Amino acid sequence: MLKLYLCAITCLCGANAWAVDLTDLERKWLDAASPVIAYANAMQLPLDVIVQPETEPQDVPIALGHEAGRCKLVLSLRGNPGAEAILAGINPSQHSILIETMAAHELGHCWRYVQGKWNNFSAGFNSMHDNSGSTRTADEQRRAKEEARREEGFADLVGLAWAEHHHPENYQQIYKWLQAHRSAQSLAGGDHDTRAWVQLVHDGKRFGTNADLFEQAGILWREGLSKL
């Protein structure tokens, strides 16, 4: 999740109401994310959509930032040669549902931020790695990694809960894609090592029938915390 973001060229409201100067790639991602954006609007989450006019090589295609109590869904696609690397090897006909899942993942971050729960453990949990003998810098790095990891775990569960609710016929495909992506990028205990949570929901029915995505994810997120 981004904590800072660059200047935007477009602020977008409403599904498919995109500005005329967007590139085809930006339209593709925004159209795919539009069901999630509409859901956020219906929930009255303070979400702005940002399309960056310039990108850096390390920028991920979609991320979430925040400022002054509002979430910023940031797309970094223009001039980004690696923008769709995350979709490499995937049939283009399946890109839309995967982008939608990524947007739902970012929505999970937004919900946590708006609820004032960002970087907090669930009630009843404390840091399980109190390295009081470490240097301050090492301890700060450890805490930052721990915070990022649990936030990514929650967001992954929201993304998969969205997939189960909106695309149950494609859940296994989406799940296997995310599982492979996390396995490929994650060092054990690293920022994006969400396997403790992802492995809990191989069967999408584990999310239950509650329509609240965040409650569904929260139950399983707490279960995953207990296994760290």
- Tell whether 219 and 133 lie within a shared domain: yes
Split into its structural domains, the chain has a count of 2
Predicted TM-score (pTM) of the model is 0.85
Same domain, 131 and 209: yes
- Predicted pLDDT at 188: 64
The answer on 86 and 124 residing in a single domain is: no
Residues 86 and 123 in one domain: no
Average predicted confidence (pLDDT) for the chain: 84
* 67 and 151 fall within a common domain: no
Asked, for residue 13, whether it belongs to a domain, the answer is no
Same domain, 85 and 123: no
My answer on whether 125 and 45 are in the same domain is no
For residue 103, is it within any domain? no
pLDDT above 60 (res 225):
yes
pLDDT higher than 80, residue 13:
no
100 assigned to some structural domain: no
**Separation in Å, CA 44 to CA 39, 47, 58, 80, 111:** 9, 8, 32, 31, 11
Q: How many CB atoms lie within 10 A of CB 192?
A: 16
Cα gap 90→164, rounded to integer Å: 20
| Residue 5 domain flag | no
Judge contact between 207 and 220, C-beta under 8 A: yes
> Do the domain assignments include residue 177?
yes
Of 91, 110, 133, the residue at which a domain comes to its end is 91
pLDDT in tens, 23-74: 999 999 999 999 999 999 999 999 999 998 888 878 899 999 988 889 999 9
Domain encompassing residue 35: 24-91
17 or 40, greater pLDDT? 40
Let me know whether 136 and 189 are in one domain: yes
pLDDT on residue 20: 52
Asked if the structure places residue 104 within a domain, the reply is: no
* Interval 164-202: pLDDT, tens: 999 999 999 999 999 999 888 656 666 778 999 999 999
Residue range 148-174: average pLDDT? 96
Q: Which of 91, 107, 128 is the last residue of a domain?
A: 91
